[in-house]
Structure 1
Amino acid sequence: MTLTPPPDAATPVTVSGRMFPTNRGGLCKKGWTSAELLATPGRLTTPLIRRDGELRPAAWEEAFTLIASRLSAIRHQDGPDAVAVFGGGGLTNEKAYLLGKFARLALATSRIDYNGRFCMASAAAAGKRAFGIDRGMPFPVTDLDDADAILLLGSNVAATMPPFIGHLAGVRAAGGLIVVDPRRSQTAQLTAEGGGMHLAPAPGADLVVLLGLTHIVLAEGLADLDYLGARTIGFDAVRRSVSAWWPERVQEHTGIPVAQLREVARRLARGRGTYILTGRGVEQHVDGTDTATAAINLALVLGLVGRPGSGYGTLTGQGNGQGGREHGQKCDQLPGYRSIADPADRAAVAAVWGVDPGVLPGPGVPAVELLGMLGRPDGVRALLVHGSNVVVSGPDAAAVRAGLDALDLLVVCDFVLSETAELADVVLPVTQWAEEEGTMTNLEGRVLRRRRALDPPTGVRSELDILADLAQRLGAPSVWPTSPAEVFDELARASAGGAADYSGLSHALLDAQLADDVAAHWPYPAGSTGTPRLFLERFGHPDGRARLVAVRPRALETGREVGELTLITGRLLEHYQSGAQTRRVPELVTAQPRARAELHPATAARLGIGDGEPVLIRNARGSVEATALLTAGIRIDTVFLPFHFAGRQCANLLTEAAVDPISAMPEFKRTLVTVEAGA
């Protein structure tokens, strides 16, 4: 994306797409309108401190002094783990890296995690378990252009990242696009072209679908046994585990006809270029890691992974969803995808930071558990939030709000007054995307430069400056650079030898990307030219082999009461994440001004609800107000709500803080509710 600065203050900033392999000049509505956020009404340009119950303007010195003194007092009284940090998958690599360093050295706390726990954690855990490395796509996106068959599970890319669907043109025309989604989403509708397929299983039944497909592949002799013998371990256990999932049983539990299941398995096996891609719809469950693992098992049984022209990948959710989880925001992680519990990893990073490894805290707790500790006497008393709007995006949002209200200190860095910032004791105004230098890492592991195009408003500071200033006031060891290029160089050194090795990269090299066609895919160790395609020769485990891991459904019955529906949450084309930004863009909010609950006409008729009428969605955790949108493209036993809205329209007032035991990702996609006509 290219931003054109205005020649004078009266001329608006403009945004245009530029030719790049991943988007080929295309942007979605959010991209085309993104310049409007740079001058959005309500843009924060001065720190705010809560006085007499209201947020009032303050000087930076006053804000810093207050934060440092309160943090020091809390740490002295209750220990460093009484202070917590919550990051975001939209932060640049530099900010994510420095935030992790700040938590471990300036605060000495183990209590750090980030909102990527809500969207990428299960795919990451499954990828690391199977391959030894987590990179969303271990191949360039452009490889999809030549696919004969693509199985896309739980992702509505036509609405969430429209430029991506350009890479599906060939497979759509060939009739090889297969979409698995309980809704007939915009992406599922693309299967009508050329004879593709849409499978609409019961919510949460994706794992059973994948077990059934693997069963058919094995039963019909479609597995690549030579590949399995040469490049994997664990096949016998997986073969035994799927033997119980014959097609008729899968049909019983998922609602997918046997004939469709067999046809999908055969299409995947006969395609010359076959890919399996997963998204949040199959991962945001209490068995999300196992579901992603089942997708990987199917890809391995078919011999797809690590072969040119085929593969498995997962679609990244946030703007820096890949890079944001690589360099230290996660509770158990150090830069370069290193483990904070591993002595060698601790020593390597501590050497770069110039500290003794013993000063680094151990692993912390993941996001949902961290939010559950807020305000407890023996839990977290102070929280610093960067790039996240947890009061809207966290599960069981009412409980999250209560926890925030009970804190002794809440500090939020943002450029608008989000719903979380409205609750803060101190709000610090920070730069936006067009006002800062840095890097991002996309879904294919390609490191990209973000270049400053505009000066930020007077009074606004970068989070790199904020973290460095606070670190100095807190007496933190190490050096704290504020130049993004210098921070990146330190990140590169700290990542050297790790799974996500950036040590051969620099801002200067990345600045040559467009001119010299530099494709900076990590791992990119010093002296290399990067790794566009992982696993061509070996996987990331010490023996070089991938792991097939036998998995099984944890619970086949949901315990549904009479009249209950399954709530599915998801995204809209016009909005992004918690909506804190997109709900401030007139064109986007005009198109989607409020939450609309999608219901099947037969369900709505049974409930006495008409199209466009108000509805109330309830369960034991809360209630949500929405407007009914009747569509035959949804199962009769479900209701769909977007998660971009706040207040009484916040979908996460209903979701439960139940998590996957491996990834700690919340269950966002299967919540039991009742629906009734509203007032």
Structure 2
Amino acid sequence: MIKSATQTHCPYCALQCGMQLIKREGLLDLEVAPRNFPTNKGGLCQKGWSATELLTHPERLTTPLMRDTKDAPLRPVSWDEALTRITQEIQQLQQAHGKDAIGVFGGGGLTNEKVYLLGKFARVALGTRQIDYNGRFCMSSAAAAGNRAFGIDRGMPFPLEDIPKADTLFLIGANPAETMPPLMQYFDAQRQRGGALIVADPRRTPTAQSATLHLQLTPGTDTALLLGLLHLILAEGWADLDYIATRTTGVAEVQRTVAAYWPERVERITGVPTCRLQEAARLLGVASTAMTLMARGAEQQSKGVDNALASINLMLALGQVGKLGGGWGTITGQGNGQGGREHGQKTDQLPGYQPLTNPQARERIAALWGVTPESLPQPGLSAYELLDALGTETGPKALLVFGSNLVISAPRAAHIEAKLKSLDLLVVADFFLSETAQIADIVLPVAQWAEETGTMTNLEGRVLLRQRAQLPPEGVKTDAEVLIALAERLGHAERFPTSEPEAVFTELGQATSGAPADYSGITYEKIRAQDGVFWPCPSDDPKHPGTPRLFTGNFAHADGRARFHAIAHSASAEEPDDAFPLYLTTGRVMQQYQSGTQTRRVASLNTTAGEGFVELHPTLARQFGIVNGQSIKVITRRGEATVPARVTATIRPDTIFLPFHYAGRQRANLLTNPALDPTSKMPEFKVCAARIEPALIKN
């Protein structure tokens, strides 16, 4: 017999699939049940179906842990002892080295309420400018491009239901068949109505295998590919000249730039045959509705912003942005990847996507928070720059980490691990002893998704409500309760009156009123009634339903027009050479998620994907005498990983692939290049030079 049923959402990716959590009479565990929510329509992937297993996992943390000295083991302590020591060390370090001696690192999986509190805590309770988050490693390139081209960043400026309406759908660096399986129903519907699917990816992924046309480009050549397609579209007369004239600016310089990217030249750069370039351009050019969706493959590069802008140029030239069934968007990765970058944990932003450097925004937020505008810090370092500065003379001496596992997820991971170990104080809030928590001085046990209520903003810009299904275990606090407790001990209790989620969300709404990401007209009640609310949703009209589609009339720039940007192809920060002759790229597998802190603890997921691997082409395997399953070393200028070989013809012969979920010697980010995009500060996770050799030890 069902005792209760809670309507909520999956704890993993930005699709935020609706689900029910069922509590049955006489049973302790929650049971996952489908929910006919608009995004997933009852579908869930393996990760979603098994998500409740983590709530009662034997490795669950239920008491704070602390080291007495750097060399001492972690031992259980009371909350009072842990919070007292954190407070004392923060005060001592700031007295000795200044406010910026304390850094804060957040995560794209935190609820909007916790994101808002984290940014407020850093700037008010700590007074530090050193705050950033792991979404810098995920969405920053697409966000920067959206802001430049459209005047606003909402990763997908239309609802998922528009995807099947596209005559031609172009995916760049995206593999939703493995990363977001329930999303594939929209692509299936698009093909069933006769639509064409183009996929650009160095690997013939499960998504690419279902495509009408696969463009198997050389890693790091996305810009050249996109410029070549725009060259053909302009040359063949497929551009929408009326749209360009009335709704955009800057096309003339783009026309001059793309003239140099004729098909034969683009083939030499990208490895994509001229005939395939021409077919892709035709499919896009003759389509009544065409849509481009990007993801991390093209964005996690030192030129990720250029890649995104080049793809936006393509859709603007075709007159598709703002058209029903057409447009440009990015497939956000982390559960709250969209909301996570909107409400203040990003180093250069105040809530609602307001620039921290904007005097009017500073004045408004300062008044709401009860502080002076002058007291709000200016922007600090971006995520990797912040981590790289840890422990230096001018960098933070302490770091508070919420919702991130940096030892696994940061590029040049061994270097960052050493930086974390060098700190005077490392505090990690988590529900498991992640690889980062294992080296912390203090570990704080916090609630999981089903044990707290809060909002998330999914990949469409739809604000959703995750509702609590049960209380956390005894001894566990929410992240919000931790922040409030620390703020009180630091002397700022009056500015942090509550950790209650709905009250925090109300304050968040006030902070975002009139801002680009305006949540002021959204309430928990409205979210429940409407199956989520799309921002912007201003409060001047109490009946405002939200805005599912942006750009139908105007863009967010002052003149209402979108901006073309003249882009040229440039080489990746690190190209193969004699010493490191291969391209290395990284990504995900279906059964694992992000750093694996959660999914690597689920037995059913580990049965099929419990260890890392390296994909390599049969030609490359024969060259090195490697057989399937053999343990091999993958080596770059930053380190080496040891993983079993997976020989497959679905990857380019000059390219190898590692998933990034695994720990120890299988850590892909031991190898990756921290070269940063100059605008977004995104590290180049997706391209670097590597070599392989047989391992002398068993994996």
Q: Matched residues in 2 for 1:328 and 1:552: separation?
A: 33
1:92 Cα deviation from its structure 2 partner:
0.3
Q: State the partner residue of 1:20.
A: 37
TM-score normalized with structure 1 length: 0.97
1:309 Cα deviation from its structure 2 partner:
2.1
SS of the counterpart of 1:150?
strand
SS of the counterpart of 2:23?
coil
1:558 Cα deviation from its structure 2 partner:
2.2
Match of 1:565 among 576, 582, 604: 582
Q: State the partner residue of 2:406.
A: 390
Unaligned runs of at least 5 residues, structure 2: 1-17
Q: Matched residues in 1 for 2:353 and 2:504: separation?
A: 17
Q: Matched residues in 2 for 1:512 and 1:226: separation?
A: 40
Q: State the partner residue of 2:3.
A: none
* Higher mean C-alpha deviation, range 653-662 or range 551-560: 551-560
TM-score normalized with structure 2 length: 0.95
Match of 1:66 among 85, 89, 99: 85
Q: State the partner residue of 1:284.
A: 300
Match of 2:453 among 421, 428, 437: 437
SS of the counterpart of 1:587?
helix
Q: Matched residues in 1 for 2:488 and 2:21: separation?
A: 37
Q: Matched residues in 2 for 1:626 and 1:45: separation?
A: 33
Question: Kindly, what percent of the aligned residue pairs are identical?
Answer: 54
Query: Could you give the per-residue CA deviations for residues 307-352 of structure 1, whole angstroms, max 9, x where no partner exists?
Result: 2221111000100100000000100000000000010111111121
Q: State the partner residue of 1:86.
A: 105
Q: State the partner residue of 2:570.
A: 554
8 Å contact from structure 1 (residues 3, 434) kept in 2: no
Match of 1:523, as an amino acid?
P
Match of 1:61, as an amino acid?
D
After TM superposition, the structure 1 = structure 2 runs for residues 22-421 of structure 1, keeping only pairs within 5 Å, are 22-52=39-69, 53-173=72-192, 174=194, 176-191=196-211, 196-421=212-437
Q: Does 1:603 align with 2:620?
A: yes
* Higher mean C-alpha deviation, range 658-667 or range 49-58: 49-58
Match of 2:536 among 519, 523, 526: 523
* Higher mean C-alpha deviation, range 1-10 or range 262-271: 1-10
Q: State the partner residue of 2:438.
A: 422
1:480 Cα deviation from its structure 2 partner:
3.2
1:656 Cα deviation from its structure 2 partner:
1.6
Q: Matched residues in 1 for 2:176 and 2:213: separation?
A: 16
Query: Could you give the per-residue CA deviations for residues 637-666 of structure 1, whole angstroms, max 9, x where no partner exists?
Result: 011000000111100001121110000000
Query: Could you give the per-residue CA deviations for residues 601-645 of structure 1, whole angstroms, max 9, x where no partner exists?
Result: 110010110001101111221110100001000000011000000
Unaligned runs of at least 5 residues, structure 1: none
Instruction: Count the aligned residue pairs.
Output: 671
8 Å contact from structure 1 (residues 5, 454) kept in 2: no
Match of 1:601, as an amino acid?
P
Q: Matched residues in 2 for 1:431 and 1:163: separation?
A: 27
Q: State the partner residue of 1:537.
A: 553
Q: Matched residues in 2 for 1:563 and 1:415: separation?
A: 39
SS of the counterpart of 1:628?
strand
After TM superposition, the structure 1 = structure 2 runs for residues 650-661 of structure 1, keeping only pairs within 5 Å, are 650-661=667-678
Q: Matched residues in 1 for 2:690 and 2:442: separation?
A: 36
Match of 1:612, as an amino acid?
G
8 Å contact from structure 2 (residues 618, 648) kept in 1: yes
The two structures, once aligned, show a CA RMSD in angstroms of 1.2
SS of the counterpart of 1:54?
coil
Q: Matched residues in 2 for 1:496 and 1:200: separation?
A: 45
Match of 1:578, as an amino acid?
S
1:677 Cα deviation from its structure 2 partner:
1.1
1:6 Cα deviation from its structure 2 partner:
3.1
Q: Matched residues in 1 for 2:200 and 2:34: separation?
A: 30
Q: Matched residues in 2 for 1:6 and 1:486: separation?
A: 27
Match of 2:522 among 497, 505, 515: 505
Match of 1:149, as an amino acid?
T
8 Å contact from structure 1 (residues 147, 170) kept in 2: no
8 Å contact from structure 1 (residues 172, 190) kept in 2: no
